[in-house]
Structure 1
Amino acid sequence: MIAETVCSAVSAAGLGIAVVTAYRRRFLAAARIAAYSLVPVGLVMTGVVGWLSDTALSPTAWAGFGVLAGAWLLFATTRAVERRRTGAGAGAAAETGSIRAGTTAPASSTPALRQGQRKGQAQGQAQSQGKRPASGDDFSDIEAILKKHGI
């Protein structure tokens, strides 16, 4: 009963503010304020406020929330343990060739970068000497990466 009274008072105050706003010739804002102030009365009329107040004061409802919290805690814990286990087994999964989502092979691109750096240094020296690198050398680092990945 108290919740219904509070909602009615809030709606009455909102409608009063809407009237004052309309008196100041801000009709669009007044209509918006009136719409917001009618929401609590509508919730009281549909019974939502009574249902919420019964739920908030019910020990059974709070016990249900406790059970839901416990279920969520169990779910989160099992998820964390699962992630920790897959994180520890990432090295073994990378060796067998089956990499799971979220894990990466350790230092997978390091050799390709080193080869590319060496090729880039060789090309830079060849260009500084006025020589053009052979056309096969342009794509050799790409070929090395593709061969490494079995493509």
Structure 2
Amino acid sequence: MIAETVCSAVSAAGLGIAAVTAYRRRFLTATRIAAYSLVPVGLVMTGVVEWLADTAFSPVAWAGFAVLGVSWLLFMTTRTVERRRGGTRKERKEARAAAQRDAVAPAASEPSLGAGARPAARPTAKPAKTSRGDDDFSDIEAILKKHGI
């Protein structure tokens, strides 16, 4: 009952502030303030406030929160112990290795189209056998011709 009254008062105050803001010709801000001020009344009308008030003053609800906290603490403790032991890491590594072995087909490395489908290897061009001195002068001549000398 008190929570509903407080929420209604907060909404009325918010709508008053929105009216003053709209009077100052700040309509977007006034609309935003009005939207925020209508939230508490909406929560009262849907019964959320009554449910929260009943939960906040209920010893059974607080005991339930304590049980949830103990449960979470136990989960985190077992997870920490598992990580320190490393037992699950080994199991994960074995499972990952098994999955990789099963993922590859035994004949996957063989070509599917046979030997005729392979492109022929390109022959590499072999340099002509000339004397070492001739190559040096031909490079120099090409550079000189390039520069017009």
TM-score range normalised by the length of the shorter chain: 0.5 to 0.7
Report deviation, 1:99.
Answer: 7.0
Tell me what 1:74 maps to. 74
Give 1:113's aligned residue: none
The offset of 1:100, in angstroms, is: 8.5
What is the correspondence of 1:69-108 to structure 2 with a 5 Å cutoff?
Answer: 69-86=69-86, 93=90, 98=93
- Corresponding residue of 1:47: 47
Residues 27-67 of structure 1, C-alpha deviations (whole Å, 9 max, x = no match)? 11101100100000010011000000000000000000000
Same amino acid, percent of matched pairs: 78
One-letter amino acid matched to 1:27: F
Q: In structure 1, list runs of 5 or more residues that go unmatched.
A: 102-151
1:12-40 deviations in Å (ceiling 9; x for gaps): 11001100100000011101100100000
Matched, 1:35 2:35: yes
Higher Cα Rg: structure 1 or 2? Answer: 2
Alpha-carbon distance in 1 for matches of 2:79, 2:57: 33
Q: Post-superposition, which runs of at least 4 consecutive aligned residues in structure 1 deviate over 4 A?
A: none
Task: Give the distance between the partners of 2:95 and 2:25, measured in 1 at CA.
Answer: 64
TM-score by length of 1: 0.58
Deviations 1:53-94 (A, max 9, x none): 00000000000000000000000000000011118x97xx5x
RMSD: 1.9
Task: Report the count of equivalent residues.
Answer: 94
